[in-house]
């Protein structure tokens, strides 16, 4: 769910440019989707067909140079019934990866055990104390999942103790290769490899599948694909390449999983026995798993996903559900405090939002930072006390502001830090927080000045209410799964009349909108605005299916609203061009001198005019932009 910007005046709508998408006329999709895909760079029918029908994946042995070595060593462990450790992370990716390999290796004859650090006590990744403890338990082989490449001290300690390590990780590789028997990492694949976007659970799945094939036991991974689906979506891995192919395949059967823990999660989420979508994982299953790693013991999720008894799985699932409710309450409380802090400061909103309270919970401040970032469209960091005069932070940023680069620039003020362009974390001395905020504000100010103050709204195609039907919904389903790298389409529609509105429990706004004779139900999640809605709106939205009390209805999920105007202004260096729609297919443009140009636009978006000025490239570009903005072409 994406909450709305906090004020109409803060929005900057950037409508798409006019295009000639006739190259896709033969593609069997509704016109708004063909236009949208063309704007995303799929300009040829074969590119769209590749999206609709995934090509087969290549042999992973040809893409991961050290995969065979890892499979050989695990094969040996399975044949010998060897004790080994699966060292995962405490997020959904790490916990599903751990459970995936535990289930597979137990079936194949090994004796694996889970080793996941505590978020609060240990921090991220494999560490020396874990290595020492495992060695004392007789473990001589460690497999890391979703971590390990940066654990230099722990890997050196394992080498000293003559313990072998198979590293599977997708985090940034250091310049020097980590010490390990085998390294399975997307960065070791060829540049255009479909395996480049795999998360930790994807790497674990590839390893498990290759091992089960080598041992001629394909049933050993019957639940592995289900865990792959959950971990991949939960980790927000790019839904392209192998992720897309495997996820599309896995979603067909996820609702029929033979893993009692997965079935328990689906039952507790009320998902029924229908085929699942990526959204079902992202909004229903993943939060119940992630909550445990944030505020509880991640071993609970591992136990749930490796349970063999359905009754035990339901009980473990209920505990996860309870922790997820606690997580929501914590997030809501911290968000309310953060907003109060911002409102108490009467100064203008700073370019970088940095808020600190000693009592905030480390496990959830990242979620609240993301909420504030979405609401205010500012890079945001929330800090909580970490003992010994230190503060630990989670940081999130909108597209275009690189978190990892900003932290690099401020490294002299930080004790520890890490991350990627969209998110990161750091530890800072409490007495350095003021200077750090000053430095981050300077970096964010440059970004705000280049980007502009407003919240950017970028719909991809015009969609009339009359075109929102089950044919469109079926076509949208054929383009799924949506996620990072292949987002759900953002449409917009003009002149939508508000016929009813009511505020739902939880702060969501329910609307009925009319466009001509056609009405549509709409929902605005986490509604934040206090001013009344204008009677007639332009709406940016996604299309979804609302299931309620056994009934399924198409619904608009509103992402942004603006007051509707019958005319629009196009600003150019020589002045303002006033553009007005006349009827269904006529356009009128007044130039800065007051001269008028009339244009007719047909249903294919081709414009005609008796005025020769309309043929000039500069004027033709104005006409195309006006046709988009006034809804004459999609």
pLDDT, tens digit (0-9, with 9 covering 90-100), for 381-395: 999 999 899 999 999
Secondary structure element (H or E) that encloses residue 107, with its range: helix 92-107
27-41 residue pLDDT tens: 999 999 999 999 999
Distance from C-alpha of 298 to C-alpha of 447, rounded to nearest angstrom: 38
Residue 138 lies inside a defined structural domain of this protein: yes
Whether 555 has a pLDDT exceeding 90, the answer reads: yes
Q: Has residue 385 been placed in a domain?
A: yes
Let me know whether 27 and 148 are in one domain. no
CB-CB contact of 208 with 223 (8 Å): no
CATH number reported for the structural domain that contains residue 555 in this entry: 2.40.50.460
Q: Do 397 and 544 belong to one domain? A: no
191 and 70 part of one domain: yes
**pLDDT value of position 541:** 96
In Å, how far are 57, 71, 230 from 211, measured between CA atoms?
17, 6, 21
pLDDT value at residue 202: 97
User: pLDDT-based confidence at 583, cuts 50/70/90?
Assistant: confident
| Residue 369 and residue 251 share a domain | no
pLDDT value for 121: 63
Confidence (pLDDT) at 605: 61
d(CA 59, CA 515): 51
* Cβ contact 587:630 at 8 Å: yes
Contact at 8 Å (CB) between 265 and 283?
Answer: no
In this model, does residue 551 exceed pLDDT 50?
A: yes
Helix locations, 215-259, DSSP H = 224-234, 241-251
In this structure, what are the phi and psi dihedrals at residue 45, rounded to the nearest 5 degrees? -55, -35
Residues 291-302 pLDDT 10s: 998 888 999 999
> What's the whole-model pTM score?
0.87
Task: Return d(Cα 221, Cα 243) in angstroms, integer.
Answer: 17
State which of 233-237, 379-383, 610-614 shows the largest mean pLDDT: 379-383
Long-range contacts of 337-341 (CB under 8 A, 24+ apart): 338/368, 338/372, 338/382, 339/372
Instruction: Kindly state whether residue 74 falls inside one of the protein's structural domains.
Output: yes
Average pLDDT rounded to a whole number, residues 330-345: 92
More confidently predicted of 634 and 430: 430
Verify that 122 and 255 share a domain, yes or no: yes
pLDDT band at 316 (very low <50, low <70, confident <90, very high): very high
Alpha-carbon distance of 180 to 507, in angstroms, equals 51
Whether residue 335 is contained in a domain is answered as no
Is residue 506's pLDDT more than 80? no
Q: Residue 7 pLDDT > 60, yes or no?
A: no
164 vs 155: CA distance, rounded Å: 9
H-helix or E-strand spanning residue 264? helix 260-268
> For residue 572, what pLDDT band results from cuts at 50, 70 and 90?
confident
Domain end position, chosen among 401, 435, 452: 452
Q: What is the CATH number of the domain that holds 388?
A: 3.10.310.30
* Residue corresponding to tokens 């074969």: 46
4, pLDDT greater than 70: no
Q: What is the mean predicted confidence (pLDDT) over 421-427?
A: 88
| CA–CA distance, 499 with 386 (Å, rounded to integer) | 51
- For residues 76 and 216, give the distance between their C-alpha atoms in angstroms, rounded to a whole number: 14
Give the C-alpha distances (Å, rounded to integers) separating 283 from 159, 198, 238.
42, 21, 17
Between CA 179 and CA 157 the distance in angstroms is 10
| pLDDT at site 277 | 94
Q: What is the DSSP string of 199-227?
A: -HHHHHHHHHHHHHHHTT-GGGGTTHHHH
Domain assignment present for residue 253? The answer is yes
CATH classification at residue 78: 3.90.1640.30
332 lies in a domain?
A: no
469 within some domain: yes
CA 543 from chain center: how many Å?
A: 17
Q: How far apart are CA 311 and CA 299, in angstroms?
A: 18
Contacts of 402 (CB under 8 A, 6+ apart): 421
Task: Among 452, 472, 500, identify where a domain stops.
Answer: 452
Q: What is the pLDDT of residue 567?
A: 83
Segments forming the whole domain that contains residue 485:
8-40+460-563
Output the CA angle 634-487-537, nearest 5 degrees. 45
Pair (448, 480) in one structural domain: no
Together in a domain, 572 and 521:
no
What is the structure's pLDDT at 612? 81
Residue 526: predicted pLDDT: 79
Residues 273 and 414 in one domain: no
Say whether both 558 and 573 belong to one domain.
Answer: no
Rounded-to-integer distance, Cα 345 and Cα 36, Å:
42
Per the structure, the count of domains in the chain is 4
Q: Are strands 586-590 and 575-582 parallel, antiparallel or unpaired?
A: antiparallel
For range 372-376, the mean pLDDT: 90
pLDDT at 110: 97
- Decide which of 506, 541, 563 is a domain's last residue: 563
- pLDDT, tens only, 516-543: 899 999 999 878 676 778 899 999 999 9
Answer yes or no: is 383 within a domain. Answer: yes
pLDDT tier for residue 120 given thresholds of 50, 70 and 90? low
Q: Tokens 């969609």 correspond to what residue?
A: 463
Provide the percentage of residues in the chain whose pLDDT is more than 90. 67
Strand spans (E) along 16-163 = 83-87, 111-115, 141-145
CA distances in angstroms from 270 to 128, 266, 280, 285, listed in the order given = 42, 6, 10, 10
Q: Do 149 and 273 belong together in one domain? A: yes
Q: What pLDDT does residue 604 have?
A: 61
Give phi and psi for 20, each to the nearest 5: -110, 100
Name which of 55-59, 329-333, 414-418, 451-455 the model is least confident about.
Answer: 451-455
Q: Given pLDDT bands bounded at 50, 70 and 90, which one contains residue 6?
A: very low
Greatest CA span in the chain, whole angstroms?
A: 88
Residue 22 pLDDT grade (very low, low, confident, very high; cuts 50, 70, 90): confident
Q: Determine contact, residues 255/276, Cβ cutoff 8 Å.
A: yes
Contact 281, 229 (CB under 8 A): yes
- Same domain membership, residue 243 and residue 141: yes
**Better-scored residue on pLDDT, 21 or 479:** 479
Q: What is the model's pLDDT at position 463?
A: 94
Q: Does the pLDDT at position 1 exceed 50?
A: no
Q: What percent of the chain has a predicted confidence (pLDDT) above 70? A: 96
> Do 578 and 553 share a structural domain?
no
In the prediction, which pLDDT does 587 show? 86
């Amino acid at each position: 769910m994406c909450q709305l910007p906090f004020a109409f005046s803060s929005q900057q709508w950037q409508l798409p440019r006019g295009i000639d998408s006739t190259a896709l006329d033969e593609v069997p999709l509704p016109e708004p989707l063909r236009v949208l895909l063309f704007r995303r760079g799929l300009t040829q029918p074969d590119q769209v067909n590749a999206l609709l029908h995934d090509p087969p994946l290549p042999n992973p042995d040809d893409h991961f140079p050290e995969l065979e070595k890892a499979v050989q060593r695990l094969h040996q462990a399975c044949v010998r019934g060897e004790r080994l450790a699966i060292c995962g992370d405490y997020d959904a990716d790490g916990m599903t990866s751990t459970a995936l390999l535990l289930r597979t290796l137990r079936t194949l004859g090994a004796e694996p055990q889970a080793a996941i650090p505590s978020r609060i006590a240990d921090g991220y990744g494999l560490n020396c104390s874990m290595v020492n403890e495992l060695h004392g338990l007789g473990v001589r082989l460690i497999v890391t999942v979703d971590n390990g490449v940066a654990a230099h001290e722990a890997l050196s300690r394992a080498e000293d103790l003559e313990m072998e390590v198979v590293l599977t990780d997708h985090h940034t590789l250091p310049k020097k290769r980590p010490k390990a028997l085998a390294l399975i990492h997307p960065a070791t694949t060829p540049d255009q490899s479909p395996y480049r976007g795999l998360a930790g659970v994807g790497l674990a799945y590839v390893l498990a599948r290759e091992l089960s094939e080598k041992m001629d036991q394909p049933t050993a991974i019957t639940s592995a694909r289900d865990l792959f689906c959950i971990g991949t979506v939960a980790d927000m891995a790019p839904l392209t390449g192998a992720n897309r192919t495997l996820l599309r395949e896995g979603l067909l059967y996820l609702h029929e999983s033979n893993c009692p823990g997965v079935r328990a999660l689906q039952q507790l989420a009320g998902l029924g026995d229908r085929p699942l979508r990526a959204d079902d994982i992202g909004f229903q299953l993943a939060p119940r798993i992630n909550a445990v790693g944030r505020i509880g013991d991640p071993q609970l999720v591992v136990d749930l996903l490796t349970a063999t008894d359905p009754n035990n799985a339901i009980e473990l699932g209920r505990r996860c559900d309870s922790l997820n409710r606690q997580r929501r309450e914590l997030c809501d409380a911290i968000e309310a405090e953060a907003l109060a802090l911002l409102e108490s400061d009467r100064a203008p909103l700073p370019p970088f939002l940095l808020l600190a309270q000693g009592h905030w919970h480390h496990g959830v401040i990242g979620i609240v930072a993301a909420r504030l970032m979405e609401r205010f469209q500012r890079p945001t960091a929330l800090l909580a006390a970490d003992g010994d005069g230190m503060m630990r932070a989670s940081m999130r940023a909108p597209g275009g502001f690189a978190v990892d680069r900003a932290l690099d620039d401020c490294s002299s003020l930080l004790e520890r830090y890490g991350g990627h362009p969209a998110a990161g974390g750091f530890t800072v001395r409490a007495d350095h927080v003021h200077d750090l905020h000053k430095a981050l504000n300077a970096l964010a100010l440059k970004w705000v000045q280049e980007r502009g103050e407003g919240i950017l709204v970028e719909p991809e195609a015009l969609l009339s209410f009359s075109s929102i039907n089950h044919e469109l919904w079926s076509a949208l389903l054929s383009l799924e799964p949506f996620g990072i790298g292949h987002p759900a389409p953002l449409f917009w529609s003009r002149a939508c009349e508000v016929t009813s509105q009511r505020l739902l429990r939880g702060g969501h706004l329910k609307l009925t909108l009319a466009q001509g004779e056609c009405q549509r139900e709409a929902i605005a999640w986490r509604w934040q605005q206090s001013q009344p809605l204008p009677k007639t709106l332009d709406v940016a939205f996604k299309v979804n299916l609302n299931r309620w009390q056994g009934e399924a209805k198409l619904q608009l999920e509103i992402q942004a609203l603006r007051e509707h105007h019958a005319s629009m202004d196009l600003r150019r260096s020589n002045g303002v061009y006033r553009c007005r729609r006349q009827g269904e297919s006529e356009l009128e443009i007044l130039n800065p001198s007051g001269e008028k140009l009339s244009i007719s636009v047909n249903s294919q978006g081709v414009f005609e005019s008796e005025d020769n000025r309309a043929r000039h490239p500069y004027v033709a570009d104005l006409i195309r932009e006006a046709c988009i903005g006034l809804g004459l072409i999609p």
